[in-house]
A and B are shown apart, each in its own frame.
Chain A
Amino acid sequence: MNRRSFLWGLAGLVSISGSRLEETWAAAAAQSSSPGFRLVDVTQKAGIQFQHNSGAYGGKLLPETLGSGCAFLDYDNDGWQDILLINGMDWPGHKRQHSTLRLYRNNRNGTFSDVTRQAGLDLEMYGMGVAVGDYNNDGYPDILISCVGQNRLFKNTGKGTFIDVTRASGLAGRQAFSTSALWFDFDRDGLLDLFVCNYVKWSPDHDVFCSLDGKHKSYCTPEAYRGETCWLFHNRGNGRFEDVTASSGIFDSSSKSLGVALLDKDGWPDLVVANDTQPNKLYRNLHNGTFKDVAMEAGIAFSAEGKARAGMGIDTADFDNSGVSGVAITNFDNEMIGLYRPGSNGSYEDIATRAGMGFPSRNTLGFGCVFFDPDLDGTQDLMVANGHIDETVRNIRGNVGYAQPPQLFLNNGNGTFRDVASELGDDFRQPKVGRGLAYADFDRDGDLDVLMTTNNGPAFLYRNDQLSGNHSIRFRLVGTKSNRDAIGAVVRIFHEGSSQPRVVKGGSSYLSQSELPVTFGVGKRDKIDRVVIQWPTGRTEEFKNLQAGRAYDCVESKGINPLSSF
């Protein structure tokens, strides 16, 4: 080959692959940049001393592997996010310790105080998940604890204590293996209704003997048990709830549900439910108090191969700022994460592999997952808590461990993600048997910190330390005509021709709930052009020229009030 033909060939190669090279360079450039923040383990420093008790004594009872959840909530309404950690308990006949959930009050200086006893929550129950919502609109968040057995509803008295109103609210007398739950106002009457996921029909008396080696008992897969319908309770406004599971079309006795999240498309809240070995569900709100499961038509029910996967955690977000929310569902190991992006025809497409999330999640068992913007760059990233259910999994699948590192898929802004967990500090990347996952700005420095629970292990509080100098703007919404927590409200900010939406969400992740205030990363900008709030009742409000670097209190129909800081 002479020099001329070589150069022509080279020129041809460059012209053919020019666009691909640009993409490659862009991806390489994105990958070469640092995440821009670190997650520092401040659990001990903050005074969080929690140990989850699964009750495991060797009986290998199914619920032992799944718990438990956590929540950020401002239970005393002081503007500082407190922490609630759900706990299990010893099984009857195998009593060894007294274990309860833990409520930690934020001391406003980076530390927390255990106020469980003072709050009246020092009660034993086999807790799984938590949903926080002000169901009686009194200004103080109430707590629903989903349990193995009877779920518990605790009403916040507003005086730093809670009282158990399970019976009074009409939720008593329902034994089940409940998992995730969320508060939302499905009929837009200004009252939060309650959705509860149930896993399978299980009780200690009807536990099935499963074995991997034929001799020793092991944890069963859900196929061994019958499914259990999710529940929908309508808030009647008088402190009582009405079971509308059947009349609303939610009923499905084949469900084996673990995670639930809100999905807004038309101002009426829909629900997406992650099911284990059963098709996922997308309950479309028909605006008349009923729902229709359209998961199959929407393409969310199954994997791309048409297989029902073992869905665990779930979250929704407009991760590509396209104006419509997508869905992420964590699955069992050997089943990659499902990342569903909405298409133009209302259906969803699983783009996990194309987005760079598929292969890194093949050998992990994901539970909690949250979309948020920890690097404050204006795009939502996905964090996943991983951990297997079987301590001996390494013997069977050499490349899969029981404890697994969490993952943070940073949004490259071009439709792809990259896992940067190993770059966030040694604390964060340590393998754990992760389960619950939630975020909040507990230190009010404008960025989002992370709370993670582990099965039969400690909880971890990670403080977000920004390194990039990115700014944020936060909004705390208070509904007046809408539910007071404004769950279901859509907040959309506009700056320099671009926009970002956030939904005030209950539930999501896995057995957990993040804070209700919404946080937007705005990069290096000092202000935003405007914010548009679409309240759950349908009312829309707009505010212009807001300074970034602070939080705003927005009261429905009463304007916006800037705070001096976050």
Chain B
Amino acid sequence: MLRSLTPGRSPTPALILGLIITLAAVVAYSWYITLQISGLRALQNDLAGRNRKDSLQLLRIQNDLNSLALGMRDMLDNDEPYPLTAWSAQFQRIRADLDDALRLEEQVSVTHRTPEQRQFLGTSLAQFWDAVDRMFAFAQAGKADEARAQIRLTLQARQAALSTAVARLLVQNNESEEQAAQRIGEIYDRVQRQVYVFLVAILTAILLTSLYLIRSNRQLFARLAALSEQRSELAQKLISTQESTLRYISRELHDEFGQILTAIGSMLSRAGNHAPEGSPLRSELREVCEIAQSTLDNVRTLSQALHPVMLDESGLESTLDWYIPTVERQTGVSISYEKSGTPFPVDGSAGIHIYRVVQEALNNVTRHSGAREAWVRLRFLTDVLEIEVEDHGSGFANPQSKPGIGLVAMRERAELLGGTMEFSQPSSGGTLVRLVIPKERAESSAG
């Protein structure tokens, strides 16, 4: 029975949609990551980098202030064989370095400072250098005690205040760096979260796509199986229809036309007997009678060819016993026919299919193989009936032979009988056709 099949939807649009969604997700995620990295870079360059440079400059300032403190201590210690003015160049060098460091620090500073803070640093430094100038003026004037007093009472205190102010800026920078580090950490956390989300989304997309593909494949295979079944049913219907039609024609030819021709022959024979001996009429009647007999023979042969009546009347074995020598005679191919096993009766419906397979196989031998010898083996085995047709001709490799409908029909007939059809190449070359049918199907009607 033919099952109605609705054409399934193609999975391609859904797959393309999935691909587009996946690519869009990747692009969106890449854009997001790029954005985050840009932010990170900006943060590191603009804040952390500048902060680091600023801290370096502040450390340089701190170092200069320490150098000043050490210099002043050396001046107070009075253990060098040099006048206090000897330190002047050292102080000038430090002043130049300090000015440079302050200028650079101002450029790279990222910490927001109040105008008061800036003013305090600038004013304190100016006051410090004023005091230094006064101190060296005393030293220049030979007033070493006054100069040292200036160091003790003013310069050291101012240096300490400056050092504290710079230390405070360093602390601010440190706090700023910590904030930057926290923000960087937040960005990393965000990116990490997004990585997880992206991974989950991608995995979900892959999972859904896979499930969809599996479902589509299953539907495709089911449709394929149904179509195959339909085709097989159709082929078997065709074969059955063909066989019944041929059987009908064969019987009609054998019964109707055979009877008629037999009657015509009898009547002509009788009419000829009534004609005078040696007359032309008698000879013409005999000639027509012979033509009728010849036609009758041809009709019977055709009837046999279309559907051997013998098959229904005497069974497969006898039909093959008759058919194989007939083929041998008609084609000149030497056929070795072997039978083995204990014969069991083969149903007529099954027999016609087996007969047709043998007929097609021998047709192939005579038409395509070029072999002058063939072997037919009929084996009645315990559970199966096995028939082999073998030749040592050109086999399937023959480039001139085209795969015809015959082989398909042979396979369909085998399936109709619940058996198997094998086409193989013997070691000596050629073709071996093997039909194997379960015994119970051979004995019963195949339908």
Shortest C-beta distance, A246 to chain B (Å), equals: 3
Chain B residues, CB < 8 A from A293 = 89, 93
**CB atoms of B74 and A296 under 8 A apart:** no
Please give me the 7 A-B residue pairs with the lowest Cβ-Cβ distance, nearest first. A246-B86, A246-B82, A251-B86, A249-B89, A253-B74, A252-B90, A293-B93
Q: Is the CB of B87 within 8 A of A251?
A: yes
User: Which B residues touch A308, using CB under 8 A?
Assistant: 63
Q: B58 to chain A: closest CB distance in Å?
A: 11
Residue of B with least CB distance to A245: B82
Instruction: State A243–B83 Cα separation when bound (angstroms).
Output: 12
Q: How large is the interface on B (under 10, 10 to 19, 20 to 34, 35 or more residues)?
A: 20 to 34
Contact A296 B93, beta carbon cutoff 8 Å: yes
Query: A279 to B97, Cβ gap below 8 A?
Result: yes
B229, CB-defined interface residue at 8 Å: no
A residues adjacent to B (C-beta < 8 A): 226-227, 229, 243, 245-247, 249-254, 279, 292-293, 296-297, 301, 305-308
Interface residues of B (CB under 8 A from A): 56-57, 60, 63, 67, 70-71, 74, 80-83, 85-87, 89-90, 93, 96-97, 100
Contacts of A306 in B (CB 8 A): 56-57, 60
- Residue of A226, A252, A297, A308 most packed against chain B (CB within 10 A): A252
- Which of A226, A243, A245, A254 has the largest number of chain B CB atoms within 10 A? A254
24 A-B residue pairs with CB within 8 Å: A226-B70, A227-B70, A229-B80, A229-B82, A245-B82, A245-B86, A246-B82, A246-B86, A247-B86, A250-B89, A251-B87, A251-B90, A252-B90, A253-B74, A253-B80, A253-B87, A253-B90, A254-B70, A296-B96, A296-B100, A301-B97, A305-B56, A306-B57, A308-B63
Q: A254–B71 contact, CB under 8 A?
A: yes
Q: Which of A226, A227, A252, A296 contacts B89 (CB 8 A)?
A: A252
Tell whether, in the assembled complex, residue A292 and residue B89 are in contact, meaning their CB atoms are under 8 Å apart.
yes
Residues of A near B86 (CB, < 8 A) are 245-247, 251
A254 touches B67 (CB 8 A): yes
Q: A254 vs B90: C-alpha distance in the bound complex, in angstroms?
A: 8
Residues on B with beta carbons closer than 8 Å to the beta carbon of A250: 89
Alpha-carbon gap, A247 to B81, bound state (A): 12
CA distance A250 to B70 in the complex (A): 17
What chain A residues lie within 8 Å of B60 (beta carbons)?
306
- Return the chain B residue nearest A307 by Cβ: B56
Considering only CB atoms, which chain A residue lies closest to B83 in the complex?
A: A246
Q: Which residues of A contact B71 (CB under 8 A)?
A: 253-254
Could you tell me the distance between the alpha carbons of A292 and B70 in the complex, rounded to whole angstroms? 21
Given contacts A246-B85, A252-B89, A306-B56, 16 further A-B contacts (CB under 8 A): A229-B80, A229-B82, A246-B86, A247-B86, A251-B86, A251-B87, A251-B90, A253-B80, A254-B70, A293-B89, A296-B93, A296-B100, A301-B97, A305-B56, A307-B56, A308-B63
A253 to B89 Cα, complex, angstroms: 11
Q: Are A226 and B56 in contact (CB-based, < 8 A)? A: no
A305 to B60, CA, bound (A): 11
Interface centre among B67, B83, B87, B89 (most CB of A within 10 A): B89
Query: How far, in angstroms, from A307 to B55 measured CA to CA in the complex?
Result: 12
Task: Tell me whether A252 and B93 are in contact in the complex, defined as CB-CB below 8 angstroms, given that A229-B80, A246-B86 are known contacts.
Answer: yes
**Residue of A226, A227, A252, A253 with highest tally of chain B CB at under 10 A:** A253
Q: Contact: B70 with A296, CB < 8 Å?
A: no
Chain B: minimal CB distance from A295 (Å): 8
Residue of chain B at shortest CB distance from A295:
B93
Query: Which residues of A are found within 8 Å of B87, using beta-carbon distances?
Result: 251, 253
Count chain B CB atoms within 10 A of each CB in A227, A246, A279, A305 and give the residue with the most.
A246
B167 vs chain A, min Cβ distance (A): 18
